[in-house]
């Protein structure tokens, strides 16, 4: 596949191989962008904004509606590509494709709801003869930097609102999984998006990232990725808008009155979806001491039933991690935890990039697998005796994206939900639940701002006040 710069598909002699992490086979190649390509893309995005901002609301919505239908009609093509280039099984990839369709559809709908309001200037002396309002206008060039774990829908979460708001887009997809993003770009162009509105640059972030982030023509950076990369961007970006989702270490509280079967099933799915490479995946489970042994046994039994292997087989529950290097990292973190006193209840073994779903207990708080985002198929179980302890331990880390609580006590659910420091609390559900139209984002090291189409549009627009003096 090729990059898309300056209204044309661009190839290069220097290529990046895109490999299937299950068997290492080369799926395709993409160009390896250099500083010249970046400059061309930045200039094209800058001039393309003039086209984007002049698109009427119905034109923006029409492109997004048509693209949603286009993707829906080719669900299996998109799902197969997602599964091949990434870690998701074909069943997980189909769900991601369906979510992408929803993201684009809601983006089209929200394009029609970018509203302003009148301002009561006469609310203060001196404003009696003044009347006015504000409306929202697009920020300009949006730099969208996307991760490998949701190579289609997280791209849609940036492109959809940017188009709806009237911005131009410069997309830098994940180097490991760029193919779904390019295919979505092809779909948008096929469905009528003016070619000057979008640029796609493929390459290594450590080689071209600074040139993209520094540039004054970029008016907003929408980034999904790791904490350290996020910190680097904030140091280098200068005066521009920044929206970041930087992952988490999501806690779940399972209270003694919880529906045990629901909690087990939800948390197993939440821990091992996409081989655990999930920013809102379950990583820490705090279980009331009266329920701990029973929950642990059922959780381990259900985890042991997971079938791992070929992502394209319908009965596969979990595929490989994105690279063998990442699997080795998780293996090392587990070995460190065990050396410090943790106990592996099941899993813990690796074959190439395949890593068994792993459950641990007695993990010390000094261990990396407790303190950091594991971004792999490993979950830690802990026993707690009271609500205050559970909430304090859930809040103890410098992350705050999603958390969850399982209980039948509505009063307790409210108390815990309001006590948890995070961007979203799921009650009687996994931390892994997300509706694409809800506000999504975190506090502390988990990010800045909110995604979710309506809320992304707010981030990607600015209010302008118009005031008339009628004297």
Write the CB contacts of 368 (distance below 8 Å, at least 6 apart in sequence).
Answer: 333, 336, 337
| Catalytic residue selected from 279, 356, 361, 422 | 279
| Catalytic residue selected from 92, 96, 110, 245 | 245
DSSP for 210-243, please give it: HHHHH-TTEEEEEEES-HHHHHHHHHH--SSEEE
Q: Are strands 218-224 and 241-245 parallel, antiparallel or unpaired?
A: parallel
CB 16 within 8 A of CB 175: yes
d(CA 25, CA 46): 38
φ/ψ (deg, to 5) at 84: -70, -45
**Enclosing H/E stretch for 159:** helix 153-165
d(CA 272, CA 270): 6
Q: Which of 249, 256, 254 is nearest to 227 (CA)?
A: 249
Burial 363-401 (b: 16+ CB within 10 A, else e): beeebbbbbebbbbbbbbbbbbeebeebbebbbebebbb
3-state secondary structure of 129: coil
Is 245 catalytic? The answer is yes
Q: Which residues are designated catalytic?
A: 245, 279
């Amino acid at each position: 596949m090729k990059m898309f710069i300056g209204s044309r598909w661009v190839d290069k002699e220097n290529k990046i191989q895109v490999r299937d992490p299950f068997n290492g086979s080369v799926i395709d190649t993409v160009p390896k962008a250099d500083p010249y390509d970046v400059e061309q893309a930045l200039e094209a995005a800058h001039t393309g904004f003039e086209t984007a901002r002049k698109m009427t609301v119905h034109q923006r919505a029409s492109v997004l509606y048509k693209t949603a239908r286009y993707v829906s009609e080719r669900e299996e093509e998109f799902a197969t590509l997602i599964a091949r280039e990434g870690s998701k099984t074909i069943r997980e990839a189909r769900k991601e494709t369906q979510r992408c369709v929803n993201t684009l559809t809601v983006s089209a709908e929200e394009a029609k709801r970018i509203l302003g309001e009148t301002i009561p200037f006469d609310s203060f002396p001196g404003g009696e003869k003044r009347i006015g309002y504000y409306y929202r206008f697009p920020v300009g060039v949006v730099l969208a930097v996307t991760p490998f774990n949701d190579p289609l829908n997280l791209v849609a979460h940036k492109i959809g609102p940017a188009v709806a708001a009237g911005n131009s887009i410069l997309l830098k997809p994940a180097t490991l999984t760029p193919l779904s993003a390019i295919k979505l770009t092809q779909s948008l162009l096929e469905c009528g998006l003016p070619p000057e509105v979008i640029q796609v640059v493929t390459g290594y972030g450590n080689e071209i990232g600074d040139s993209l982030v520094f540039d004054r023509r970029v008016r907003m950076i929408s980034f999904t990725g790791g904490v350290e990369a996020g910190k680097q961007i904030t140091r280098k970006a200068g005066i521009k808008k920044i929206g970041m989702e930087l992952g988490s270490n999501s806690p779940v509280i399972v209270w003694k009155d919880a529906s045990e079967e629901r909690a087990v099933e939800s948390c197993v799915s939440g821990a091992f979806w996409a081989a655990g490479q999930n920013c809102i995946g379950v990583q820490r489970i705090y279980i009331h001491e009266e329920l701990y042994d029973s929950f642990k046994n059922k959780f381990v039994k259900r985890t042991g039933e997971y079938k791992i292997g070929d992502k394209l087989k319908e009965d596969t529950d979990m595929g490989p991690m994105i690279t063998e290097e990442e699997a080795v990292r998780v293996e090392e973190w587990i070995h460190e935890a065990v050396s410090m006193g943790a106990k592996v209840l099941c899993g813990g073994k690796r074959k190439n990039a395949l890593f068994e779903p792993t459950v641990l207990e007695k993990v010390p708080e000094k261990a990396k697998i407790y303190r950091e985002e594991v971004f792999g198929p490993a979950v830690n179980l802990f026993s707690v005796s009271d609500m205050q302890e559970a909430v304090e331990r859930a809040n103890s880390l410098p992350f705050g994206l999603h958390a969850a609580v399982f209980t039948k006590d509505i009063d307790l659910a409210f108390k815990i939900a309001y006590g948890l420091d995070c961007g979203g609390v799921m009650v009687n559900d996994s931390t892994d639940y997300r509706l694409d139209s809800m506000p999504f984002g975190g506090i502390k090291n988990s990010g800045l701002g909110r995604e979710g189409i309506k809320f992304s549009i707010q981030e990607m627009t600015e209010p302008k006040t118009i005031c008339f003096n009628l004297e």
